[in-house]
Amino acid sequence: MTVIWKPEVFQGSGKTKNYFEGWYYKLVSKDEKNAYAIILGISLTGNSKSHAFIMILDARKQKLYSQEYPLNEFFADKNSFKIKIGRNSFSKNHIHIEMNQESNIITAELNFQNITPWPVTLLSPGVMGWYRFIPFMECYHGVLSFNHTISGLIEINNEKIDLTNGRGYMEKDWGSSMPSSWIWMQTNHFNEDNVSLFGSIAKIPWLHNYFTGYIFGLFYKGQLYKFTTYNGSELTELMVSKEKIKIKLENKNYQLKIEALRTEGVDLPAPKMGEMISKVNESLKSEINLELIDKKINKTIFSGNGKNSGLEFVGDTDELINGLRL
């Protein structure tokens, strides 16, 4: 039970089928010319298709490097965020990579400082709030760091990229399947330092029906502004087109307006009943414009344009809107 309050730790002990768990690192170089997503995890299908995996998305080249590993090469510490896959190791503060993927040779030695996680409390163990205590949900989520600094190098086919003084983000998902429809966004590249936005809207199966759940957090000047289903916030506007996504959220004190501009991404494998057979298109080059308003004094607290934004949209927009009953 203690792992409930440690979302970064492996949650799948005892699982053998219909289960996945994945950790996600987003890394952007200081000059913002290079951006990567490093994704690692485990896919448990109950048969010979079960495996561990590492995926590296290179946004500049719009290319995905992916390698599967047998389950006996996957190790997860029971009490802390320490994962080993083959000769590769991952934690909240460090990545070590030695991959030989077909004709591609990838190495990395990266360190992270000033990790800033979504707060964990006794009654709200992370980004999902009290929903984390509900068993048998399709998918669980954790935000492990809104924003942190990077030091070190990644090398792909003899091209070395120095990520020192770049910015990172870290999260994870686990469960049986990713939602059939969802929107996900993240950026921590604004004109002001130490500003980070994470947001997700998803179809949540519930008692033979479903509802649309949402979790948004804006970290600004050391304060986390939460707009979530479980804290009584309302999603009052959702519009999705090929070019943009517009969202408006409100709680009793604040209003958050978001306009995300979509750009071309790369298709990544995603889990369905533990098996990596679905697809999600992810961009690391999108832009997110946002405005945070204090409703009590009708004043804009922060507005800005977030660059190098991660953005995903999967499934049926109408399904999400119907689940909101706007």
pLDDT tens for the chain, 326 residues: list them.
589 999 999 999 999 999 999 999 999 999 999 999 999 999 999 999 999 999 999 999 999 999 999 999 999 999 999 999 999 999 999 999 999 988 899 999 999 999 999 999 999 999 999 999 998 899 999 999 999 999 999 999 999 999 999 999 999 999 999 999 999 999 999 999 899 999 999 999 988 889 999 999 999 999 999 999 999 999 999 999 888 999 999 999 999 999 999 898 999 999 999 999 999 999 999 999 999 999 999 999 999 999 999 999 888 888 898 888 64
Indicate the helix (H) or strand (E) that contains 322. helix 317-324
How does DSSP classify residue 93?
S
* Nearest Cα residue to 106 out of 158, 152, 63, 59: 158
Q: Name the percent of the chain in helix, strand, coil, to the closest 5.
A: 5, 60, 30
What residues pair up with 52 in beta bridges, in sequence order?
A: 42, 69
Cα gap 28→165, rounded to integer Å: 9
Cα gap 43→272, rounded to integer Å: 10
pTM score: 0.96
Report which residue type is found at 304.
G
Q: What is the pLDDT of residue 1?
A: 59
Contact 289, 259 (CB under 8 A): yes
**Environment class of 160 (CB within 10 Å of its CB; exposed 0-12, middle 13-18, buried 19+):** exposed
